[in-house]
Amino acid sequence: MGEVLVITSGKGGVGKTTATANIGTGLALMGKKIVMVDTDIGLRNLDVVMGLENRIVYDIVDVVQGNCRLKQALIKDKRFENMYLLPAAQTKDKTAVSEEQMKNLSDNLKTEFDYIVIDCPAGIEQGFKNAIAGAEKAVVVTTPEVSAVRDADRIVGLLESSGLREPKLIINRIRPQMVKKGDMMSMEDIIEILAVDLLGVVPDDESVVVSTNRGEPAVMDKASRAGQAFRNISQRITGEEIPLMNLEANSGWLEKIKRWVTKS
């Protein structure tokens, strides 16, 4: 039986879709059979981030309404045999799917896949309720901004009251230099407020923008630091214990010598 993960945040634009694409791909890289489900009906974009936009024939609404079989709507990834995408509908809205239907869908997918990664829409309305209906574990994404943390707190509360205890936290787009200067909330500040377990910290990285636009998730880029962070996160999801990466590590050799000199 597979595991159903929902990636959520409350606030928009913090990187739910990017996280979903990267965690999904990260798990696929590890050889797991995974499916990503886009529940952002009406504003779908997981397919764009994955570079699979032109392969969509049927979508999630077609599946739950019985217009097609589940197998027909699943899009096989162009890079990995073991990775699939169930796209959202673009023409309907969030009410086209009910919580009950989402639960059934998750149960069906669970028999086929090791991991089901659900991309949740922003907000706390029907779309959010649908996304978490079938989920067993939740991952909350936030950025080091008070507004995002506030919304994440709200989401954690809602998740807890709907039975998704102990959600895990991803802090996205952190900038160590700014944290050092005291201009940005630190990891510790955020954890102190949210009081949930940390799944990973993703540094702010321009390569994510590039890879998102290309439809190639950053995890596949060996040189990308954000990609490395997402690979670690994927490994932690499978139960491996991976230490947090050193955010300050700068890859330049000059930096390395500088650090070595200051250390001794």
Q: Which of 54, 66, 111, 161 binds other proteins (CB under 8 A)?
A: 161
Q: Which of residues 189-218 bind other proteins (CB under 8 A)?
A: 192-193, 195
Task: Identify the helix (H) or strand (E) that includes residue 137.
Answer: strand 137-142
Q: Tell me the sheet residues that pair with 197.
A: 168
Cβ-proximal residues to 77 (8 Å cutoff; 6+ apart), any chain: 28, 50, 52, 83, 84, 85
**Are 39 and 19 a contacting pair, CB within 8 Å?**
no
CB of 47 to other proteins, least distance (A): 31
Say which residue the tokens 């943390």 belong to: 149
For Cα atoms 6, 11, 15, give the angle at the middle one, nearest 5 degrees.
60
Encoded one letter per residue, x for contact with other proteins by CB under 8 A and - for no contact, window 139-158 reads: -----------xx-xx-xxx
Report the residue number, 187 or 191, with the smaller CB distance to other proteins.
Answer: 191
Binding status of residue 178 toward other proteins by CB under 8 A: no
Q: Which of residues 50-109 bind other proteins (CB under 8 A)?
A: none
Size of the site for other proteins (CB under 8 A): 12
CB of 263 to other proteins, least distance (A): 31
CB atoms within 10 A of CB 20: 29
CB of 196 to other proteins, least distance (A): 9
- Give CA–CA dist 39/24, Å, rounded: 15
Strand 168-174 to 115-119 pairing = unpaired
Binding status of residue 11 toward other proteins by CB under 8 A: no
User: Binding residues for other proteins, per CB under 8 A?
Assistant: 150-151, 153-154, 156-158, 160-161, 192-193, 195
